[in-house]
Amino acid sequence: IPLIISFGLLDAINAPFFIMCTILLSPIISFGFPKLSSYLPESLDQWFQNTKKFVLLLWGIGVLISWFSLGSLSIFLMDFKYSNYSVLPDDSFIIKHSCLTAYTHGSILAEDPSLNVYDLSIVDLKKGDPYPPTAEIFKPFKLDAYGYPPPFLLFPKLLLLITKNYMSLRAMFSGISMLIAILTAYILAKTLGNNHEKRIFIFTPLLISSPAIAITLQVGNFHLTAISISLLVWAYLEKNKNAISGTLLSIVTLSKISPGILGIMLVFQKKYKAILSVIISTIIICGITYLVFGGKIWNDFIFYHIPQVQTGRALSFLAESEQNIEFNIAPFGIPFKLRALGILNIGWKEAKTASNIFSIFLLIITILAAFRKGSPRFRLTIWISILMFGSLKSPYAAAFVMLTVSFLFLILVCELKSVKSIVLYIIAFILFSFHFPISNPKIAIGVSLIRVSMLYIFLLWIIFRKEKPSGRGFSQGVG
């Protein structure tokens, strides 16, 4: 796609036809170079011969749709003028929003000790305001505010060493995120093994094109990589590779904060070697950050940004529009939903109270979850659910946070054993994976409130349910 765009040929070539041609290259290469096929997992051997034709047909259609949606998205990632290939082509906010502007701009600002990376006034531009000199490369995207801890800036700084062309950075960031997600699915499959391994391989193409993941790739948010790394922590713990697990947990916590909740599970599960690795890695990473960016950025983060979050100054956008209120799935946003619906006249004070109550609730269920026993697959679903609850601790948990649930559904596919379970699975998948635009803002917020409530109940059920004994059932017929 970069090659086609660089020669100006995309306007002359029918894009859907072009995408289909690139998709068809995959089987052509596989048949033309049989050695490549030898690297495919052995668990998939004979799958085509042993699976019902109807199931194969549905799977094939699903995979083609997945590849086509990602192919379309990749065109927009490479060139902004092809906004009709956006995930939501009619949503101007999604088209112009790019979280990656915050990361990259933050890294640029951090190079100047006189500037505050967390100063909202730098990026809070009104219509018609000129971009600051440090942000010219981000046009025409809307500048996003940086709110992550200082160590995270090491990653965009590395990317900027490769290229300073923002469209290239955008495609590269999303490409790396996708590769890490696919690698994570592969490692989880190999860790679970047996029939679970086969099912995860089969359904991964559908996972990576779920709406939540597609939007995350388009806006360039780090959440997909954060969740992937958090799941790798679990996988390496299962293999008793404590040093790797601890290092990965340190990296993702210093980047995103919320995965740190998993550290509580490690404490109560007495994974002391992994905890020691977390501590050592944290000291090293913070030291590197200090050497690269200096000490001022830490001072700005602790004494400027955190108080701004606590007072609500950094979160004013939460209640600025009905769309922001609708999209926020965090407990912090529930009071604003209730106010928008005219149910209760509440706001910031109650939102902070809701957040504090949720913090206590999160701590309790995390401790209880740490003592849950069961098969690796069962414990992995609990791990993902706690990870999802941890993501909801943020005052603003946007729609892309739901991609954590996409990974949960990938693992739950291993539990399908009957027609009834498949029907319930499909209903839940549609409910939590798809966003259906509603023109009436109040109805949209009302639907969002119901959906959020059902999500919390669903996650609690995953954590505290009883594990059913594994059996052949329906699963062996399709898996």
For the chain, the structural domain boundaries read 1-85, 92-163+252-464
Beta bridge pairs of residue 97: 142
114 is written with which tokens? 């006189």
Q: Which of 357, 360, 380 is nearest to 369 (CA)?
A: 380
Q: What are phi and psi of 174, to 5 degrees?
A: -65, -40
pLDDT tens for the chain, residues 1 to 479: 666 666 666 666 666 677 777 777 777 777 777 777 777 777 777 777 777 777 778 778 778 888 888 888 888 888 888 888 888 888 888 899 999 999 999 999 999 989 999 988 888 888 778 888 889 999 899 999 999 999 999 999 999 998 888 888 998 899 899 999 999 999 999 999 888 888 898 888 878 778 888 899 999 999 999 999 999 999 999 999 999 999 999 999 999 999 999 999 999 999 999 999 999 999 999 999 999 999 999 999 999 998 887 766 677 777 778 888 998 999 999 999 999 999 998 988 899 999 999 999 999 999 999 999 999 999 999 999 999 999 999 888 887 889 999 999 999 998 888 888 889 998 998 889 887 778 898 999 999 999 999 999 999 999 999 987 765 444 443 33
Confidence (pLDDT) at 235: 97
| Cα 282 to chain centroid, rounded | 23
Radius of gyration of the chain, Cα coordinates, nearest whole angstrom: 23
- Asked if residue 285 lies in contact with residue 152, where contact means CB atoms within 8 angstroms, the answer is no
Q: Which of 232, 221, 211 is nearest to 101 (CA)?
A: 221
Confidence (pLDDT) at 477: 38
For 200, which DSSP code? Answer: H
The one-letter amino acid code at 6 reads: S
Confidence (pLDDT) at 476: 41
Place of tokens 């990026």: 123
Question: Distance (Å, rounded) from C-alpha 179 to C-alpha 184?
Answer: 9
Reduce the DSSP state of residue 451 to 3 states and report it.
helix
Q: Give the largest Cα separation in the chain, rounded.
A: 66
Confidence (pLDDT) at 100: 94
Confidence (pLDDT) at 151: 97
